A and B are shown apart, each in its own frame.
Chain A
Amino acid sequence: MNSAVIVGYARSPFAIANKGQLTRVRPDDLAAAVVRGLLAQTGIDAGEIEDLILGCAFPEGEQGFNVGRLVGMLAGLPRSVAGTTVNRWCGSSMQAVHMAAGAIALGSGRAYIAAGVESMTRVPMMGFNPMPNPALAEREPGAYMSMGITAENLAATYGISRAEQEAFAADSHRKAAAARDGGRFDAEIVAIDTPDGTTVSRDGAIRPETTADTLATLKPAFRTDGSVTAGTSSPLTDGAAAVLVVNEEFAKAHGLKVLARIRATAVAGCDPTIMGIGPVPATRKALNLAGLTVDDLSVIESNEAFAVQALSVARELGFDPSRVNLDGGALALGHPLGATGARITGKAASLLKREGGAFALATQCIGGGQGIATVLEAV
C-alpha cells in the first residue's frame, strides 16, 4: 500500500459571516486564492496534481455547479487537473483528505489537493431551498434537528454546566489570540483581496477580551432554559482551507517538505440528537486501525462546534487538555463548515512538526449524527 503524506497546509483568514471582512468575496474565488497560496507555499508543479477534491456543506448558489472543478479553473490549474466536490457537511474537507489518501493508497494518482470552503454569508446554512422529507422527520426527528438543540442535548446527557462551557470558550479565545499575536498563523494564512479593494490577512472572530464573566451575561441562544449561548457556539464564518496530500515517494522525489503521514482514517455514525459526540466512535475506530491509544497522541485537533460538544468528546475519550487545540479552536477562529476539516487536519500535521511528538489526531462532529477522524504520524 502506498502511504500518503501531507506536504502543505494553507487557509484564508476566517471572518464572521454577514458582517466580517469576507462577506463580499465569492466562495469559489476564496477557495481559488487559497489553492494558489498552497501551490506557492509548497512549490509543487501544478501539472503533477491528479485531482482537486473540494469539500462544501451547502454546494449550491455560488458554491454550486461542480465548484471543485471551477475552483481549479479559477486558481489557474492546468486543464488536465480534475476537480470534484464532496459533501459530508462539517466533515466535508476532512473527507476530501481521506479520499485523497485512499486514492494514493490505491495508486490512482500521486498528488491531490484536498480543500474546503464555505461562505456562510453568501450561501445560508440549510441552503436556499430547504426541503426536508416529512416521512423521515417523523421517523427520525434528529435527522433535521437544529445543531443548537443537539448541543443542549449533550449538555443534559453529560451534565456539563454553563460555567464549564464558558471557561472552555474563553480559553479557546485566549489560545487563538496568543497564537495570532505570536505570529503562529502567519505561515498558514493566505491574504485575500476583496472586491472592496482591501486585503484581509487576519482572522476576524478572535476576541481576546472574552472572559467567562462576559460570556455569563449572554442569553441562551437555542432554548429559553438552555445553557448554550452564542458565546459558547462557533460563529457563522466565511473561510477556505486546503492541504496538499501526496504519495510519500513522490514527496521525496520532488523534494517536498513532509509535515506528517496519514496513518489511519475513520468515519462513524451516532445518534443524530447528540451528533456532537460523533468524534468519539470515529476516533476509537481510527486509533484502533492505527493500533494506538489516546495516550499516544501528542497533538489533538478536536473541532469546537460548541464548547459543550468539544468538552463531551474530550471527557469521553480522556483527552489531556494541554495537548488539545494548541492554537485555539473554532469557538475563537470560526467554523466555515466545508473548510474546517482541511483546516484542522492541516493544522494537526503542522503542529506535529512544530511541537514534535509521534502522533496527532484531527476529529470533528457532523450534523445528522456522524463523526470523522484522522490519525497522523510524524515522519
Chain B
Amino acid sequence: MDIKSAAVIGSGVMGSGIAAHLANAGIPVLLLDIVPPSAGESGDRSAVAKAALDRLLKAEPAAFMHKRNARLVTPGNIEDDLGALAGVDWIIEAVVENPAVKADLYRRIDAVRKPGSVVSSNTSTIPLAALVDGQSEAFRRDFLITHFFNPPRYMRLLELVTGPDTRTDAADALAAVCDRRLGKGVVRCNDRSGFIANRIGTFWIQSAVNAAMDLGLTVEEADAIVGRPMGIPKTGVFGLIDLVGLDLMPYIARSLLATLPPDDAYRALHREPELFTRMIAEGFTGRKGKGGFYRINKAGGGKVKEAIDLATGAYRPSGKAQLASIDAARDGLPALVAHPDKGGRYARRVLLETLSYAAGLVPEIAGDIVAVDEAMRLGYNWKHGPFELIDRLGADWLAAALDEAGQPVPDLLRRATGRSFYRVTEGRLRYLTVDGDHAEVTRPEGVLLLADVKRATKPVARNASASLWDIGDGVLCLEFTSKMNALDTDIMAMAERAAGLIGDGRGAWKALVVHNEGDNFSVGANLGLALFALNIALWPEIEAMAERGQQTYKALKYAPFPVVGAPSGMALGGGCEILLHCDHVQAHTETYMGLVEVGVGLLPGWGGCKELLTRHMADTKRPGGPMPAIAAAFETISTARVAKSAFEARDLKFLRPGDGITMNRDRLLADAKAKALELAAGYTPPEPVALRLPGPTARLALELAVEGFRATGKATPHDVVVSGAVATVLSGGDTDITRELGEDDLLALERRHFMALLHTPGTVARVEHMLTTGKPLRN
C-alpha cells in the first residue's frame, strides 16, 4: 500500500512538526485542529491550525526543509473538514493525551475514513490496548502507534507499536514510509508504558538528578560527567531539562507512574524536589521560560552565564566543572567509574542504576537489545545505547557491582557475564538474544553502513587522515578520518591514491564514493595547519598546498571514472568544494553546504569559485548577460551563505538539479553506490570549463555594491578587502569579455587572490580568532 496523502489531527508542537515533515517528504497533508471557541459565527474556524502553520514557518531550527513545502500543508478544523479524511491514506492523531478525547475522535474518524486507510497515534504514554478499546474491528486492524520525537524533522527515532489486531501489511507499509520517505530509524516496540526511549530516558534523567543532589555535585559537574564521557550530548541532564522544559517533567512522571508495573524501579526513584516545584511555579522552566538550571543574565547590560546552586536555589556565575574524574574519563568509562572523587561516584551510581534498569527491560519492552540501543541513539542522541555502554564497562563488572551493592542482577545481564552483549565474529556484528545466543545484526534492504564494512574488512589503503574501503561491486569509498574531518594533504594524497587504484575504471575498481559517517561530512580545510605555516611564513608551502587541493579536485572531476559525493551534516569550505567537483552528489537531506571561506578572510581556493560560477553561467533559465550569474555567485560566496537543507542547497546551486537527495541517512551510502555503478556504465568525464567573463567592469560593478554595504555598516573594512578579491576572481581578473578562460586560468586566479588575502593582517586576525574562539571575527 502506498501513502499518497495524509492528515494530522492536532496542531500542537508535535502534530504540526509531523505535518511539516510529511510535507518535506512531498506528501500533501491536512492539518486539522479544533474550532476555537472565540470563532463564533463569523470568525476563522481554522484559526488554530493556521496559527500552527505560521509558527512552523518561523520555527528555529526550521521545520520545513524548503519554504515552499508549506504549500503542501492545508490547515483546517475537525468540525468542517473531517469529511476530507475520506481522501487520505494515513491519518495521524496528535491530540491531547486524554483517552476519552482520543476515543471520541477515533469514532468520528472511523465514520468518515476510507476503507483500508491507516490510523496512527503519536501518543507517548497511553498503551495501544487502551486506545483501541471499544473501537470498531476495522479500526483495530488499521490502527497502530507511530511515536515521533521532537522536533520531528531532526530527531531520527520513530517508535512503532502494533497491537494484536493490527494488519501486518499496514504496519509494514507505514514502517517503509517512515524509513524511506521520512528518513526515520523505525524501532518496533512492545505495547508498554513509555515504549523504549522515554521509559529509559526518563529513568536516566531522574537517576542523574537524584544522584547529583545526593552527592552534592554542581549542575556543571553533573552535566560534565553524564554528558560527553558517556557519549551523551554535552547538555548532560540539567542542560537537557532546560531544553525540554522543566514544567514537562512532573507531567511525564505522572503519566508513567499511572501505567508502569507496580514493581518498576522508577517508582522508587521518582522524586519531585522542592527546588524544581518552586522553579516551575516561578517560571524558571528552561530556555523557553525565564531561564532554568542555566541562564544568561543580561542584567546591567552584561551577558553572564549563570547556573543554579542546587542546594540554595540561587543563581551564581557558571564556571567550567573541575574534577579529577573528568580528566580520568579520557581513558574510558571504566577509569571514570573507578575514580574515587564525587564525579567518579556519581558516574558509577547513575550508570549502575540506569544500565541495570535497561538490562531488566528486555524482552519486556522490545524483542532485542539492538532495538533498545537504536532507540536511545536516535531518540536521545546517545552515541552508545545502554547495552553498548555495558560492554564498555564490562558485563562482568556491572554484575559484580550490582552484587556488591546488594542489588538484583537482571537475567539478561547474568547471561552476558563472561562474554559481552555485542561481539564481532567473521567480520559480522552479533548481539546477545534473550535466549542467550549471539545472532547477527541484520540491516534492512538498501541500508549499507560504512561501519559494517569497516568491521568486515581491512581498508584498501589508509593514512593518518583518510581511508579507502571496498564497499563491494568494484566501488571504492574514500573516508575522511581526521579530527572534524578537516581536509589536509593526507586526504589529498588518499584521493590521488584512489584515482591511481581505479585507473581507467575498467579494472578491479569502477567508481569512487566520497562518504563518511561523522556528524559532519567536513567543515573544511585544517585551519590550524594553515595558521602554523602562515606564522613561520612558509609561503611556497602554503601555495603548494592550495595548488595540491586544486589539482586533486580537478583530477577527481576529470578522472575516467565516476566520483559520487555522499554528504550528511555540514559540508563547508573545502568540504563543499570537493562535492562541487563530483560527477554526482547523493546528499542526505540534512546536509548543510556552504562556501564559508570569507568568514576567515579567505576565498574558496580549491576550485569553489570556479565551479559555482560555472554553474550559474551555465544556467539557461537566468536573465541574459554575464552579470546576473556573476552577481549570484558573488552573493553566495561573499556572504558565506550556508544551505539549511539539501533542498536549499539546490536553490544555491551547490547541488545540481540531477543530484540526488536521500531522506534516511542509513540509506545514503547504498544510494550513492548505486548511482556510482549506474554512472560507471559508459562513463565519459565532463566537458572542460570555458567561460567568457567581463573582467574589471564586473569587478567594479560588484565593488560599487559592496561600497554601499560598507557605508551602511553591513560590511566591515576587511569584508571590503575579502569581497574585493572574490569579485576579482568571479569577474575573471584582467580578462576581457571576448577572451575565453579555461579551468586552469580560473584556478590560477583563485590561487593568486587566495595568497594575496593570506598576506593581509585582517585575514590573519580572522584565522587566529576562529581557531581560538570558534567564531568569526568581524574586522
Contacts and interface: CB of A to CB of B under 8 A. Distances in A.
B627 to A, nearest CB: 4
Nearest to A221: B712
- With a 10 A CB-CB cut-off, give which of B628, B698, B699, B712 has the most chain A CB atoms: B712
B624 interface: yes
Contact of A132 (B624, B700, B713): B700
Interface string B661-703: 0000000000000000000000000000000001011111100
A148 B696 CA distance: 24
B623 interface: yes
B712 A223 contact: yes
B711 A133 contact: no
A129 B625 contact: yes
B708 interface: yes
Nearest to A149: B711
B697 A133 contact: yes
A183 interface: no
A222 B711 contact: yes
A146 interface: yes
A222 B710 CA distance: 9
Given A146-B708, A222-B711, A129 B700 contact: no
A128 B623 contact: yes
A134 B712 contact: no
A220 B707 CA distance: 15
A223 B711 contact: yes
Nearest to B630: A129
A137 interface: yes
Interface in A219-264: 220-224, 226
Contacts of A126: 701
B479 to A, nearest CB: 44
Contact of B704 (A61, A146, A222, A224): A146
A144 interface: yes
B697 A134 contact: yes
B233 interface: no
A224 B711 CA distance: 6
Interface string B707-734: 1100111000000000000000000000
Contacts of A187: none
Interface string B560-578: 0000000000000000000
Interface in A131-185: 131-134, 137, 144, 146, 148-149
Given A61-B623, A144-B704, A146-B704, A131 B712 contact: no
Nearest to A219: B712
B697 A128 contact: no
Contact of A222 (B625, B628, B708): B708
Given A61-B623, A144-B704, A223-B711, A128 B696 contact: no
Nearest to B707: A146
B625 to A, nearest CB: 3
A91 to B, nearest CB: 22
B474 interface: no
Given A61-B623, A134-B696, A134-B700, A129 B628 contact: yes
Contact of A131 (B624, B698, B708): B698
Contacts of A132: 697, 700-701, 704
Contacts, number: 50
Nearest to A138: B700
A131 B697 contact: yes
A128 B707 CA distance: 19
- With a 10 A CB-CB cut-off, give which of A128, A131, A144, A221 has the most chain B CB atoms: A131
A174 to B, nearest CB: 29
Interface in A106-145: 126, 128-134, 137, 144
A144 B700 contact: yes
Contacts of B628: 128-129
Nearest to A132: B700
B698 A222 contact: no
Given A134-B696, A134-B697, A144-B700, A128 B711 contact: no
Interface string B614-632: 0000000001111110000
B735 to A, nearest CB: 13
A123 B697 CA distance: 20
Interface in B296-348: none
Contact of B627 (A128, A134, A222, A224): A128
B235 to A, nearest CB: 37
A321 B712 CA distance: 32
Interface in A61-105: 61
Interface string B160-185: 00000000000000000000000000
Nearest to A220: B712
A132 B700 CA distance: 7
- With a 10 A CB-CB cut-off, give which of A126, A134, A148 has the most chain B CB atoms: A134
A226 to B, nearest CB: 8
A311 B371 CA distance: 76
19 contacts: A61-B623, A128-B624, A128-B628, A131-B694, A131-B697, A131-B701, A132-B697, A132-B700, A133-B700, A134-B697, A134-B699, A146-B708, A220-B712, A221-B712, A222-B712, A223-B711, A223-B712, A224-B711, A226-B711
Q: Which 9 A-B pairs have the closest CB atoms?
A: A129-B625, A129-B627, A224-B713, A131-B697, A130-B701, A134-B696, A223-B711, A134-B700, A132-B700
Given A128-B628, A130-B627, A131-B697, 16 more contacts: A128-B623, A129-B625, A129-B626, A129-B627, A130-B704, A131-B701, A132-B697, A132-B700, A133-B700, A144-B700, A144-B704, A146-B707, A146-B708, A146-B711, A149-B711, A223-B711
Interface of A: 61, 126, 128-134, 137, 144, 146, 148-149, 220-224, 226
